[in-house]
Amino acid sequence: MNETEKNRDQHAILEMNKRARDILISNDLGGYSVPNKDVYPFQWNWDSAFVALGFAEFDIDRAWKEIETLFDAQWADGFVPQIIFWQENDGYFPGPDVWQAGKNPATSGITQPPVAASMVRQIWQKDKSKKNQAIVERLFPKIMAWHRWFDKYRDPLRKGLVVATHPWETGRDNAPEWDQPSAAVDISAIGPYERRDTLHLDKKMRPHKQDYDRYVAMIEYGRAQSWDHKIIANEGPFRTVDVGMTMMLIRANKDMLALAEEFGCQKEAVEIKSWIDRAAEGIDYLWNEKIGAFCSRDLISDRSSGIISSATFLCFYADVGSDDQKSQCIKHLKRISLASKFLMPSISPDNPRFDAMRYWRGPVWAVVNYMISQGCMEVGLKDLSQRIKIDTANLIRQSGFYEAFNPQTGEGTGGEDFSWTAAMWLHWAGK
Ligand code: DGY
């Protein structure tokens, strides 16, 4: 690049930074952010954790507020819901009347990937002021309670893994890994419902009707159990060990351990370490020998999905697996990096279920890229880490702050002006 081109590029980046900040500010509904004003008009759990990283780039108090607001909706048993319905909005289905979780504020009855601890540690590392220390000290026991909830309710095998009881808990709603386990869900008795997502977005970007019927059936089941998480986790119609949630929880526990040690919480450190040690051994349950990768595995049928998804590559972020397992995963990552113009497709383009524009069946997601890239960097895969970061930046520069992107053409898919994509630009890809 010559000097003029460099200046032009610098100017374009500053413009993008401003646009990203504006998106976060405009999606701020007062102490919490919506992922996107039309498609998702409430507070979402893992979205908020990532969004806090973006706010931390220009307003650290607002970043903490995002996470504190999320934990304001924590249930007494430590559970942190997937959605918090702070205010009414009929642009989304299923709303609080469908969930009937019986809480104030109204929430859904399922959870989402536990990434909050990792984001809290990132923000804390940015500014270790006394004021921020007090906030971390306030959040620490709340996050601990949430991780204990996972340990108590979602690890029936006692292997340090995470069982999801609804595809929405995984955050990767219609990932092909859930096709087989959710096919067994009985939809014969579901009541009538009206989707709202397809009023805002082209239906080719969204899950199929068959998926929604099953989502609704699983909600109706949970509601019939009055959201008793013990019953749902032991007897529910969908119980699948998610490779993504598992890897994110292991990483979050490692971040919690670092915080516990820094803050002198010895008892908690011992407890967290026991979870991490259990997972280090237990992770083999997800290893698919034939495929040579970590894959989600259905607890009910005891079948491995045999599907390599972007979540597989969070093994580097969690830093688990033997050297041999890691090197087999690296081979898959390199293979996909040759097959895909932009990394990281949510499943490999050569998989027959790949669908380039349809939500979690093909598109690239900035937050997943961030975690994979960070993991790759930490385990010494610098070139792959850099490639994922550059691809993410190019996707956003080419198409804008979309929810996700077509890995072959770079076209945006899902909602526009998306909070977590803006946050990932500010915190990582745009730097
Ligand atoms: C949706 O409604 O599509 C959300 O992803 C559920 O969390």
Q: Concatenated DSSP letters for 143-158?
A: HHHHHHHHHHHS-TTS
Q: What is the pLDDT of residue 405?
A: 99
Residue 1 has pLDDT above 90, yes or no: no
Ligand 1 centroid – CA 173 distance (Å): 7
Distance of alpha carbon 160 from alpha carbon 58, whole angstroms: 36
Atom of ligand 1 nearest to the CA of 112: 7
Which has the closest alpha carbon to 384: 376, 392, 394? 376
Question: Which residue puts its alpha carbon closest to atom 7 of ligand 1?
Answer: 168
Q: What is the pLDDT of residue 284?
A: 98
Percent of the chain residues topping a pLDDT of 70: 100
> Based on the number of CB atoms within 10 Å of its own CB, is 377 exposed (0-12), middle (13-18) or buried (19 or more)?
middle
Tell me whether residue 261 is one of the annotated catalytic residues.
no
Phi and psi at residue 312, in whole multiples of 5°?
Answer: -55, -40
Helix (H) / strand (E) element for 43: namely strand 43-44
Q: What is the pLDDT of residue 345?
A: 98
Percent of the chain residues topping a pLDDT of 90: 99
Burial 282-295 (b: 16+ CB within 10 A, else e): bbebbbbeebbbbb
> Stretch 309-336: mean pLDDT, rounded?
98
43-101 pLDDT, tens digit each? 999 999 999 999 999 999 999 999 999 999 999 999 999 999 999 999 999 999 999 99
Residue 11 has pLDDT above 90, yes or no: yes
3-class SS of residue 277 = helix
Distance of alpha carbon 319 from alpha carbon 339, whole angstroms: 25
Catalytic-labelled residue, pool 66, 173, 242, 417: 173
Mean pLDDT of the residues in the chain: 98
Q: What is the pLDDT of residue 203?
A: 98
Atom of ligand 1 nearest to the CA of 82: 7
Fill in the DSSP letter of residue 190. P
User: 36, 165, 173: which to mutate for ligand 1, most atoms within 8 A of CB?
Assistant: 173
> Stretch 337-366: mean pLDDT, rounded?
97
Distance of alpha carbon 268 from alpha carbon 146, whole angstroms: 13
Burial 106-139 (b: 16+ CB within 10 A, else e): bbbbbbbbbbbbbbbbbbbeeeeeeebeebbeeb
Q: Is the distance from CB of 117 to CB of 124 less than 8 angstroms?
A: no
Return the structure tokens found at 15. Answer: 């413009």
Q: Cα–Cα distances in Å, from 56 out to 52, 121, 172, 375?
A: 6, 12, 25, 21
Q: Is the distance from CB of 80 to CB of 28 less than 8 angstroms?
A: no
Q: What is the pLDDT of residue 429?
A: 98
Enumerate residues 6+ apart whose C-beta is below 8 A from 80: 45, 70, 71, 73, 74, 111, 112, 114, 116, 146, 149
Q: Is the distance from CB of 315 to CB of 326 less than 8 angstroms?
A: yes
Distance of alpha carbon 228 from alpha carbon 169, whole angstroms: 16
Q: Ligand 1 within 6 A of 365 CB?
A: no
Residue 358 has pLDDT above 90, yes or no: yes
230-289 pLDDT, tens digit each? 999 999 999 999 999 999 999 999 999 999 999 999 999 999 999 999 999 999 999 999
Q: What is the pLDDT of residue 41?
A: 98
Distance of alpha carbon 17 from alpha carbon 15, whole angstroms: 5
Residue 187 has pLDDT above 90, yes or no: yes
Enumerate residues 6+ apart whose C-beta is below 8 A from 27: 33, 34, 35, 36, 37, 417, 419
Q: Ligand 1 within 6 A of 82 CB?
A: yes
369-386 pLDDT, tens digit each? 999 999 999 999 999 999
Place of tokens 């979780």: 101
Ligand 1 centroid – CA 40 distance (Å): 8
Q: Tell me how far the alpha carbon of residue 120 is from its chain's centroid.
A: 15
Distance of alpha carbon 12 from alpha carbon 15, whole angstroms: 5
